[in-house]
A and B are shown apart, each in its own frame.
Chain A
Amino acid sequence: MLAVMDPDAGALPGTQDSNEQLLARVATGDKRAFAQLYDATSSRLFGLARRLLVDPAQAEEVTQEVYLEIWQTATRYEPTRGTALAWMLTVTHRRAVDRIRASQASRDRDLKVGIRDQEREYDSVAETVEITVETRRVQAALTKLTELQRQAVTLAYFRGLSHSEVAQLLHVPVGTVKTRLRDGMIRLRDELGVGT
Chain B
Amino acid sequence: MTTRRDPHLLSGAYSLDAVTPDEAAAVEEAMAHSEELRGEIAELTDTAVLLGMSVPAADPPPALRARLLDLIEQTPQLPPLADTEVEADAERAVPIAAEQPAPAPGVAVLRSDSRHVAPRRRRRWTRGPALLAGALVAAAAVLFGGGMMLDQLVNPAPQSTSASAFDQLRSARDVQRQTASVAGGGTAVVYWSKSLDESAVVLDGVAQPAGKSLQMWVVTGGRAASAGLYAPRGGERYELMKGALKPDQAVAVSVEPAGGSSQPTTKPIVVVPVAA
Contact = CB atoms under 8 A, between A and B. Distances in A.
Nearest to B6: A178
Contact of B60 (A60, A90, A160): A60
Contact of A182 (B9, B39, B57, B131): B9
Interface residues of A, number: 83
Contact of B77 (A45, A74, A80, A195): A74
B46 A82 contact: yes
A194 B48 CA distance: 10
B222 interface: no
B9 A69 contact: no
Given A71-B77, A82-B46, A90-B125, A43 B57 contact: yes
Contact of A72 (B43, B54, B56, B77): B77
Contacts of A195: 39, 42-43, 46
Contact of A184 (B12, B39, B72, B125): B12
A107 to B, nearest CB: 13
A86 B64 contact: no
A140 to B, nearest CB: 11
B71 interface: yes
A163 to B, nearest CB: 5
12 contacts: A46-B58, A48-B52, A69-B132, A73-B135, A76-B123, A76-B125, A85-B53, A94-B17, A97-B18, A163-B13, A185-B16, A186-B44
Interface in B38-74: 39-40, 42-61, 64-65, 67-69, 71-73
Given A43-B58, A63-B64, A189-B43, A134 B13 contact: no
A93 B10 contact: no
B110 to A, nearest CB: 12
B249 interface: no
Interface of A: 5, 27, 29, 31, 34-35, 38-39, 42-48, 50-51, 56, 59-60, 63-64, 67-69, 71-78, 80-82, 85-87, 89-95, 97-98, 101-102, 128-130, 132, 134-135, 137-139, 153, 156-158, 160-163, 166, 177-186, 188-189, 192, 194-195
Q: Chain B binding site: helix, strand, loop or mixed by DSSP? A: helix
B12 A91 contact: no
Interface stretch (B78-86, B96-104, B206-214): B78-86
B18 A166 contact: yes
Given A192-B50, A195-B42, 4 more contacts: A31-B69, A31-B73, A34-B72, A42-B59
Nearest to A133: B53
Given A38-B65, A90-B126, A192-B47, A73 B54 contact: no
B53 A89 contact: yes
B50 A68 contact: no
A93 B48 contact: yes
B58 A50 contact: yes
In order of increasing CB-CB distance, the 4 nearest A-B pairs are A182-B12, A181-B12, A43-B57, A94-B128
A188 B51 CA distance: 10
A46 B76 CA distance: 24
B124 interface: yes
B19 interface: yes
A127 B67 CA distance: 32
A87 B9 CA distance: 24
Contacts of B126: 90
